[in-house]
Chain A
Amino acid sequence: MSQHPKRLLDWLSRRLNLTEVFSLLTSYGFFYTEIDSRKPLAEALEEALEKPVPSYSNWPRVLGLIVLVLMTVEILTGGLLALYYLPTPQSAHASVGVILQDVGFGALIHQAHFWGAQMLIAVLLLRLGRFFVQRVYRRPRELVWVFGILLLLVSLQADLTGRMLPWTTTSYWSSVRAIEVLATIPVISNIMLFFTGTSGAFLSEVTLIRGYILHIVVLPLLAIVLIYFHFSTVRRVGLSGEASTAGMPGRRAFRAHLASLAIIFVLLLGVLITLAVLAPEPFEIKADPFSTPPGIDPPWYLLAPFGLLEMTADFLPRWIVGLVMLLATTALVALPFLSRSQTDPGASRRPLLWALAVAMVAVWVVLTLYGARMA
């Protein structure tokens, strides 16, 4: 009996380069080293498993793994939701209602998709925090930082478009608020307003279908490409920190690594399902474009720019605040190239940069609180 799978593999490997297919996994971090795709799979694996294993699973580095796992969860749950979701203003709300009420495990999958996205954004932020503290943006890891920021921006955009899809009162009006904030950014806003298909005052069926395509096609693809680039960078410049291939040689260490991965996956799934069961996102009534309910916030990550806009509404034109947002984001992406310490990897901690970072986070928190009070 045990001969059958082996014979099937033989049959396949004579017709398909299995090693090449398998090597895709290395591009997404599920396998730690490059695989020689010229050799048969068994032989290539044998060879790869004998190579020393980098210390993958030490604690700070777990954040990147969690990002990967959450991204997979989002794609799987999102794919299931897409089987029932209908992206038109007439039927979107009702179809989400069907998912929540009538489809088996629909509510659980819907809530897991929502909470997975919130956790993903939180983990991406923590990961950037780790990069900053451990100065992972220094030469030669500038691109690790840049891809990290871009992945965060893509995820935020995915969250923004995803919030709109259920077409409930809160989702609709919080999207309108978000568009109002983002429409102040010079240049970028013109591109963005094309995707909203409106002047920003209300959302149409064009907004919904474009948002949906962004949410299920464009942004996931961008995220996959960014993760691929991230691992390509890591394979080229190596992991940061201590000597990355120290200790743990060979097959056994890889099994331990897989066990850690499984533990993380199981715990993450537990947290996700617990959040989905204990703190479900309420399903509000269908949006009415002609009646704005009171007390609608933009999404939490846009509260700070919203607060800044409200604070300066009386004495600054809106586009200046938009320009500040644009410059701040650009500066964040370009941090590796702005920081002089990258030329000197051994340079001591820079108090000025630290003070600036702490001040920026403090300003962000204050503006978020102000924005939450104003909305």
Chain B
Amino acid sequence: MTSRSLRILVLSLAGIACSLPSFAAGAKEACGSCHPENRVETEPSVHLAEGVTCVSCHGGDPESLRVETAHRGDFRPLTNRLQSPAMCAQCHSDLAKMRPYNLPIDQYAIYLTSQHGNAVSAGDPRAAVCSDCHGFHDVRKTTDPLNPVHSANVTATCAGCHADRGLMAKYDIDPDVVAEYRSSVHARVLLDERNSAAPDCTSCHGSHGPTPPGVGDIDKICGSCHTKTRQAFLDGPHNQAMLDAGLPECASCHSNHAIRRFEVAEIESLCADCHGEGSEQAALGAKFTNLIESTREELVEADGLITQAQRVPLNVEDHIGRLEEGRTFLTEAFPQIHSVSLDAVERVTRRSRSIGSEIQHELYTRLDRRVAHATLAVFWFYLLMTVAILWRYRQKLAAAKNEETT
């Protein structure tokens, strides 16, 4: 072999090497060479980070750069939505695969029991599949704020279908539920105050097997957070009466999606809505309002005195602790109202009010400046006496001087 033909061989080998950029970059899959936008989409996904690549879902030959050879064998384009849940379940229902990530494996089983799952099984392509909520190429961890099922985003994700009037009309589902939820106290805390402790859609309905809770179960759903309120409600007469009448328990007053938090002043009119104006029950509601507002006033007054005393300063550590205790008792009054028992509400408001008035009494005594003012008056009396004596002495000197000169 001549040196010339050797040189040609080396150069052409180098040229082949350069024409395989993805191999040169060290990537094992060539899919991105033809599908760059999909490669970019996949970059942030938790799947890629854990070694789940294109072929894990799509199959085919990842090393081939030719469509004919790349898209062969077990290649799946996954354009059929109806097949996709089963596809995800291949891994996500596999205990051996999910165990290292401490992920549950029952999502697919639960999904199949839901309305979404039933519709998909029945061949309805419009029903929600995994990727409608979780995304597909860019699946993220649920704790990632960019994940569509993160608590900050899930309302919008559900709204994608459930606020779609055309789509919801086909299933006879109320399309206003999302707007109603958005007006609720829960949405205000979750979405406006960005407090992720507040409930989103899935907190009450579930996620993979979304089911609306029925009459008789609502108190259990609400009670999973509002435990004391539920207990008081079950202790009171309303629970049984509503079950007998077929009324939804909590939702009868608070509504289901547009959940309302009532002002203390509204209790009477709320009672009157069912029991009628001027009824005994409406009067009881007015009593609750009075009890709570008067207790609140006591605590506000005590708080003001504490601030005043701090500026003197007086030591009010103990009073601050007791005020907090008083506030806790007042907070307990709100669940107790749901038992509609005057005794129960009075028990806690009385304790709260007595703490407030105790603090006030002690601080009024300690802030009382009457003794200081009286002492000041006595002080001025002696002071002016001293001035008078000095003045007289001065006058005497002046008089003596006048005598001298005359």
Chain A residues close to B by CB (< 8 Å): 97, 100-101, 107, 248, 252-253, 255-256, 259-260, 262-263, 266-267, 269-270, 273-274, 277-278, 280, 282-285
Contact = CB atoms under 8 A, between A and B. Distances in A.
* Nearest 7 Cβ contacts at the A-B interface: A282-B311, A259-B394, A256-B397, A283-B313, A270-B383, A263-B390, A259-B390
Given A256-B394, A263-B394, A274 B311 contact: no
Interface in B42-56: none
14 contacts: A101-B314, A248-B401, A253-B397, A253-B401, A259-B390, A269-B383, A270-B379, A270-B380, A270-B383, A273-B379, A274-B376, A277-B372, A277-B376, A282-B311
B397 A100 contact: no
Contact of B390 (A97, A266, A283): A266
Contacts of A97: 313
Contacts of B35: none
A101 B379 CA distance: 22
A266 B386 contact: yes
B313 A101 contact: yes
Secondary structure of the B side of the interface?
helix
B67 to A, nearest CB: 61
Nearest to A254: B397
Nearest to B388: A263
Given A252-B400, A274-B376, A284 B390 contact: no
A280 B312 contact: yes
Interface of B: 310-315, 369, 372-373, 376, 379-380, 383, 386-387, 390-391, 393-394, 397-398, 400-401
Nearest to B308: A282
Contacts of B386: 266
Contacts of A253: 397, 401
B311 A284 contact: yes
B380 A274 contact: yes
B387 A266 contact: yes
Given A253-B401, A262-B390, A280-B312, 12 more contacts: A97-B313, A100-B312, A255-B397, A256-B397, A263-B394, A266-B386, A266-B387, A266-B390, A269-B383, A270-B379, A270-B380, A278-B376
B310 A266 contact: no
**Chain A CB within 10 Å — which of B310, B314, B390, B400 has the most?**
B390
Contacts of A269: 383
Contacts of B379: 270, 273
B303 to A, nearest CB: 15
**Chain A CB within 10 Å — which of B379, B397, B398 has the most?**
B397
A283 to B, nearest CB: 5
A273 B373 CA distance: 11
A248 B398 CA distance: 9
**Chain A CB within 10 Å — which of B314, B315, B376, B394 has the most?**
B394
A4 B174 CA distance: 109
Contacts of A252: 397, 400-401
B310 A285 contact: yes
A266 B383 contact: yes
Contacts of A284: 311
B394 A260 contact: yes
Contact of B387 (A101, A267, A277, A283): A267
B376 A273 contact: yes
Contacts of B314: 101
